[in-house]
Chains A and B, each alone.
Chain A
Amino acid sequence: MSPGFQGRPRSAQPALPPGQYLTEDFPVLSAGPTPKVGPETWEFVVTTEAGAEYRWSWAEFTALPQDTPTVDIHCVTRWSKLGTTWQGVSLDVLLDGVDTGAAYALVHSYGGYSTNLPMADLRGGRAWVVHRYDGGDLPAEHGGPARLLVPHLYFWKSAKWVRGIRLGTTDEPGFWETAGYHDYGDPWREQRYAGD
């Protein structure tokens, strides 16, 4: 289904975060080769600060209760895309029953990528592990088989090819957060770079 924003009066168009422009296509950003991971080998692991591991195979993950969020996404390279449609599992579901008091999460991916965010941002219906986009399986170039989706932060936080989350009591910066990008990355406060 197309969101069809072009049919609305101009005044009803959603505002973009500062410094962003609207795009209709879906640019592919990648810091390396696309990892080749199939459903038969895919797994998702939550590791707590005490070292406990909670694992889901592809079959177990896709059997969990599914959400179908429609969200706007904002890339730090200044494009925004409105009304994107996804299917996946809320982090509230994945973290339900995980015994942790951790305040921070380090998300890691097949291929070696990582990104950090506060636990609070993974909870409250604001974060998902998604495996379908726009009515089809999530293409590998957009992070398939599955990626993180945290649309209220810049899109580099929505790690492609997600493999797991390490929960910790201290904040550990990820791939771009150790190379000049902002630790938190709120697009509405334009937190692009360290110090913003």
Chain B
Amino acid sequence: MTEMSYLDGNMLDGPLRELFAVDLSAATGRCEACGTTGPMAGLHVYPHAPGLVARCPACQGVMLRLVRTPQRAWLDLRGATYLGIPLPPDQPYPRPL
């Protein structure tokens, strides 16, 4: 029985950096199919396909698909309820009186 190999979600860092200014490999995501929450870096990414397919490590549901065509990127996140993205603390400044 041959099992297709997959890579961990850290490999999404490069392809997604082309789209987003933030580092999504440190983000957490919630699986729409089973509710499991975990780091994007923990997803199972199947790269030997017409696009990148990132699956929930718990239920194998598709959480993210990324297709890079010559003209644009197609990003499908319908399998992820949310992405939680770490950001630096908000910098309050003195408001005018």
A: residues with CB less than 8 A from B are 27-34, 36, 76-77, 112, 139-141, 156, 176, 178-181, 192-195
Contact = CB atoms under 8 A, between A and B. Distances in A.
B1 A36 contact: yes
Nearest to A176: B50
Interface size class of B (residues with CB under 8 A): 20 to 34
A113 B9 CA distance: 21
A28 B4 contact: yes
Main SS class of interface, B:
loop
Contacts of B62: 31-32, 112
B71 A193 contact: yes
Given A179-B76, A181-B50, A193-B71, A33 B60 contact: yes
Nearest to A77: B50
Contacts of B4: 28, 30, 32-34, 141
B64 to A, nearest CB: 10
Nearest to B69: A193
A84 B28 CA distance: 44
A30 B48 contact: yes
Nearest to B5: A30
Interface of B: 1-4, 6, 46, 48-51, 53, 55, 60, 62, 65, 67, 69-72, 74, 76
Secondary structure of the A contact surface, majority rule: loop
Contact of B51 (A32, A34, A176): A176
Contacts of B69: 180, 192-194
Contacts of B2: 28, 34, 139-141
B63 to A, nearest CB: 12
A30 B70 CA distance: 22
Given A33-B4, A139-B2, A178-B76, A28 B48 contact: yes
Contact of A34 (B1, B67, B70): B1
A32 B54 CA distance: 9
Could you say which of B48, B49, B53, B76 has the most chain A C-beta atoms within 10 Å of its C-beta?
B49
Pick from B6, B50, B71 the residue with the most CB of A within 10 Å: B50
